[in-house]
Every structure is written in structure tokens, then in C-alpha cells.
Amino acid sequence: MKQRRATILGAFVMFAAIIFSSHNTVYANHHEHEKEPVWTVGAAEKRTLYVAHWTHTPENCPGRSGDGAKMLSRFWEGRKSAEEKGIKILGAYVTVTEHDYFIIFEANDYSTAVGFFLPLIPSQTGKIVPVLTMDEWLKIMPK
């Protein structure tokens, strides 16, 4: 079971890397007249890209009780106020039979990101990982 889960997680990470390797977030001004894109990035405008992975046991599944379903609904409705605090959800995925959530988002800072996920802590186990797009990694990768 753990090996199958690791395989599924690995496949999802590869999927996310492929999807976001072509993702170019516009942080500031793109100079249209130039052949190659040049981005002007200001420190205040730079946001970090994260992948959050949350999981729970079948026994703690929010779908098994009305209270759990309400908690999950309130959490997801909270993304509207999270946007006002600098969180932008880029994608959210659920592996229903594996009891996992994967949420890809940008945030101004890590503490804001953690605050968004606080409602899940009583029944979920989570990880929030900063990531780079493949294009960003290739620019800084040792050659």
C-alpha cells in the first residue's frame, strides 16, 4: 500500500512539474518589443510558488460526517479571504480513494500560507513545500 501510494505521489509530482514547467507567471512588466521575454521583477511583487499536500486516514475523512464536510467546505470557502491576504490558488486536486489533497498556490509569504491551512490541522496531516517552475530551475541549475 505504501509503495503504491509513493508511486501515485511520484506520478502526481511529475504531473505537476510538467504542468508548471510551462507556467510563466507575470510578476511585472513584459517588454513586448523584445524577441525574448524579459521580466522585471520587484522584490515586493515576487511571490513564491508552493505545493501543499494534505492527507487523512479513512477514519478521519471529512466526507464521513456532516461536521467534517462542513469543516472542509468552510476551509475551501476561506480561499476568498486568503486571496485578500496574498494567496492565489492555481490548482487544487483530490485523490478521493487515497484521501489526499494537492493544492498548488502562490503566496507572498510562508506564514500567510500556513494560516490558510490552519483549519485542516485538527484532522489532517500536511506539508507545504516551496517549489520552482522548471524554467526557473533551469536558469539557476549548476551546469
Q: Where are the domains of the chain?
A: 2-140
Q: pLDDT tens for residues 22-75?
A: 343 333 333 344 444 443 344 456 789 999 999 999 998 998 999 999 999 999
- Model pTM above 0.75: no
For residues 19 and 51, is the Cβ–Cβ distance under 8 A?
no
* CB contact at 8 A, 90 and 79: no
In CATH, the architecture of 2-140 is 2-Layer Sandwich (3.30)
Amino acid at 66: G
Q: How far apart are CA 100 and CA 104, in angstroms?
A: 13
